């Protein structure tokens, strides 16, 4: 396994931790947290997203050795905008179907 492969594995693990934290926030709320941890689910989500983005940044830095800065960027504002539009479209569909309050 090389450095890039290792980063990809860590990225997968961090993504799973974000998923788990989202699940806890849905089940128990953002203000709740794991008993005795001293943190809320919102704190934990912030931490997990920050750790995920740190690995994304490391992967981008590594990719610059093989690709131009533009090609190695893993965040695209146009893709993000399209995703937001798609999410809003389907939120409205869910609302119209009575599944979203």
pTM of the model: 0.88
Chain segment 34-49, per-residue pLDDT in tens = 999 999 999 999 999 9
Q: Would you give the distance in Å from CA 54 to the centre of its chain? A: 11
Residue 69: what pLDDT?
80
Chain segment 45-63, per-residue pLDDT in tens = 999 999 999 999 999 999 9
Residue 83: helix, strand or coil by DSSP? helix
Average pLDDT for residues 72-85, to the nearest whole number?
95
Give CA separation, 28 vs 6, 25, 39, 56, in Å: 33, 5, 13, 28
CA–CA distance, 99 with 54 (Å, rounded to integer): 35
């Amino acid at each position: 396994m090389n450095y890039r492969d290792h980063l990809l594995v860590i990225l997968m693990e961090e993504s799973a931790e974000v998923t788990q934290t989202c699940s806890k926030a849905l089940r128990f709320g953002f203000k709740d947290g794991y008993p005795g941890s001293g943190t809320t689910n919102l704190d934990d989500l912030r931490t997990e997203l920050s750790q995920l983005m740190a690995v994304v940044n490391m992967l981008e830095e590594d990719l610059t050795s093989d690709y131009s800065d533009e090609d190695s960027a893993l965040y695209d504002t146009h893709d993000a905008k399209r995703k937001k539009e798609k999410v809003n479209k389907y939120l409205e569909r869910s609302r119209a179907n009575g599944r979203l309050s």
